[in-house]
Chain A
Amino acid sequence: MSTKKFDYESLQDAHSIKTYLVSLIDSIEKGRIILKSNGEEMAMRVDDLMKFSVQAKKKDGQNKLSIKLSWSEIKPVIKDERASSMSIGS
């Protein structure tokens, strides 16, 4: 299975950070997050259920805040056991 990666790192001020966050929120609301790098696209379908975590750390005057979303796009297969085991006899 292929692995796709997108990586962006920058320095921003509060105003420009907001621009990026708002654009991500818009994408979540629309149900699709599109990330592109050099024309190569990575699309992520937003799920009804996503793991959402916020982690923060403060050490020696250095601050770090991580916001993480993770979810699976593979839907569990729901089998109807009764239906598959049914046999029709003559």
Chain B
Amino acid sequence: MLTAALKENLSFMVVEVARQLDETFDFLASGEVAAFQKINSRDDYIDNLKTVIENCCFTTLSEARSITQRERDSIRATHTICVNLERIGDFCVSAADQLHYLNNHAILQHFDYQRIFDLLAEHLQEVIPVLKNGDMGKALAICRAENQIDDIYKENFDKIMEALRSGKEIENLVTVLFIFRYLERMGDSLLNIGEALLLSILGEKIKIEQFQALEETLSKSGLRTNLAEVGFSSILGSRSGCRIRKVHGHNEQPQIIPQTQSSIFKEGNKEKILTEKKNLERWHEIFPGLTPRLFSHQESEETASLLVEFLPGRTFEAILLKGDPAELETVCLLLHSTVREIWKRTKKEMPVKANFIPQIMARMHSVLSVHPDFLRARQDIGSSEVMPTDELLAKCRHIEEKLAAPFSVFIHGDFNVNNIIYNAARERIQLIDLYRSREADYIQDVSVFIVSNFRQPVFKTHLRDRLNWITRNMYQMAREFAVEQGDETFEVRMALALARSFYTSTRFEWNNDFAHEMFLRSHFLLEKVLAHQDSPWHTFSLPSGIMYY
């Protein structure tokens, strides 16, 4: 894996940093000037070793003809380790240098810095063996040593503060505090080294907190907790702020996660995660198999985590961009029948307000932080008045108050094209990312779906034609459903829903021309609704061209 030269130099570096720690400890204890010179000159040697290792890492990465992911991870880990070893070396010099400001050397001896040096030395000697044999337990112990160092720092910090309150030896005590601060930062570097070792073992960049959450969640699900035996694969991006990892089950795992089945680990904001859990349970009751199964969950004070089934298949987004036309047609038909079935099963004769305008208002700050000029001012063009955005929204909100949907359905809540999965083997549609699901106006899911098609950053004519075709079919399906259900205000609510989705989606769009197009469409729809307010709402006609690009 690592070249012999790389291994050798890294071993040298560990030895040198360990010696540097020893010398620094001795200097802090004795205060002998000669020791400081040695620390200083060793620092140069450590810096050189770092440069050699860095060069070696980059050369190996760029020159190797074929390199496996595992080897690449190992080199990345080695690089992180050498950078952090060098930092520990630097902190040694900085801590030792502080001794020059100490008038009373004896004062330092009242504080327990030895335990920090002992912990650092103990765990540094494990770095090379762990890198070689992938001992997960020892890698975790290195990570957790940082917590112990923090605790020792805190004890000493409190002691220094107490001594400062006496008003004596203030300058010396401040210097002692500085020394401890450098020792505490050495702990931070040790943690980075531990996390780099986890990367080399697991093939995933993972933070110790996430690791613990995953370990607990897996353990709760009945899986063995030795994560070294559980495969990780690509990190799937998510806008929800939850970190998602795919965890492969292994043959010897119990039946909770079936053989060859993978699962998704989500960890993050407690409220979001617990809402998703509740929604997954609800979806499972309504429509078993439509959404991922929930394997287990775990809560701590601030965060929570879920282990859910990984749904194999492709996203609707992938199919619409790359699938062949016949497949796309099949998937669209399947999607429509699935959506209609959801609406049928979950329909409740209970009027529900969609609150599209308040949703725009709530996201206005995020929109303006990306596009500061996406707010229309009051303008006059001759005798024609242009209504400013805030007034337009306030008036439309007032209109919307009287435009509740005649019934509710259980909506997905974020019905984007990348939250819809098509499983070709089982010929079924499945849904993911369900933390926004709730009883609401079915139009919301339709409008989000339409705008998620619209805002695909593709501009080739044949792809745009495809997107427009998908949009038209989804709209027609929803409109037919509205007619069947006697939903007379469908078109005006759709106008408000589209205005909401166009406006709020601009916060994800950095292409200013395209975002501006959506901003203008949103205003056009709002003005259109406002202009109709003195006529019966069932006569409102949605200018359908607004959905196509």
Nearest B residue (CB) for A25: B382
Nearest B residue (CB) for A32: B382
With A8-B379, A38-B377: A19-B384 Cβ-Cβ less than 8 Å: yes
- For B371-389 the 0/1 string (1 means CB < 8 A from A) is 0000001111111101000
CB distance from B290 to the nearest CB of A (A): 37
**Residue picked from A11, A23, A27, most chain B C-beta under 10 Å:** A11
Q: Of the 9-residue stretches B91-99, B238-246, B351-359, B518-526, which lies at the interface with chain A?
A: B518-526
Q: Give chain B interface residues in 519-537, CB to chain A under 8 Å.
A: 520-521, 523-524, 527-528, 531
Complex CA–CA separation, A39 to B378 (angstroms): 8
Q: Give chain A interface residues in 1-40, CB to chain B under 8 Å.
A: 6, 8-13, 16, 19-20, 23-24, 26-27, 33-39
Complex CA–CA separation, A26 to B434 (angstroms): 55
Category for how many chain B residues contact A: 10 to 19
Would you call A16 and B527 a contact (CB within 8 A)? yes
Would you call A37 and B543 a contact (CB within 8 A)? no
CB distance from B547 to the nearest CB of A (A): 13
Category for how many chain A residues contact B: 20 to 34
Residues in chain A near residue B380, CB distance under 8 A = 34-37
Would you call A23 and B524 a contact (CB within 8 A)? no
Residues in chain B near residue A37, CB distance under 8 A = 377-380
With A13-B543, A16-B527: A8-B383 Cβ-Cβ less than 8 Å: no
Would you call B382 and A11 a contact (CB within 8 A)? no
Would you call B386 and A34 a contact (CB within 8 A)? no
Complex partner residue of A8 from B386, B521, B524, CB under 8 angstroms: B386
Complex CA–CA separation, A70 to B378 (angstroms): 25
Nearest B residue (CB) for A8: B379
Complex CA–CA separation, A13 to B377 (angstroms): 20
Would you call B520 and A8 a contact (CB within 8 A)? no
Would you call A38 and B520 a contact (CB within 8 A)? no
Complex CA–CA separation, A12 to B378 (angstroms): 17
Would you call A10 and B524 a contact (CB within 8 A)? yes
Nearest A residue (CB) for B383: A23
Known: A35-B380, A37-B379. 9 other contacts (CB 8 A): A8-B381, A9-B520, A13-B524, A16-B527, A16-B531, A27-B382, A34-B380, A34-B382, A36-B379
A selection of 12 A-B contacts at a CB cut-off of 8 Å is A11-B520, A11-B521, A11-B523, A11-B524, A13-B524, A13-B543, A16-B527, A23-B381, A23-B384, A35-B380, A36-B378, A38-B377
Seen from chain A, the residues whose Cβ lies within 8 Å of a Cβ on chain B are 6, 8-13, 16, 19-20, 23-24, 26-27, 33-39
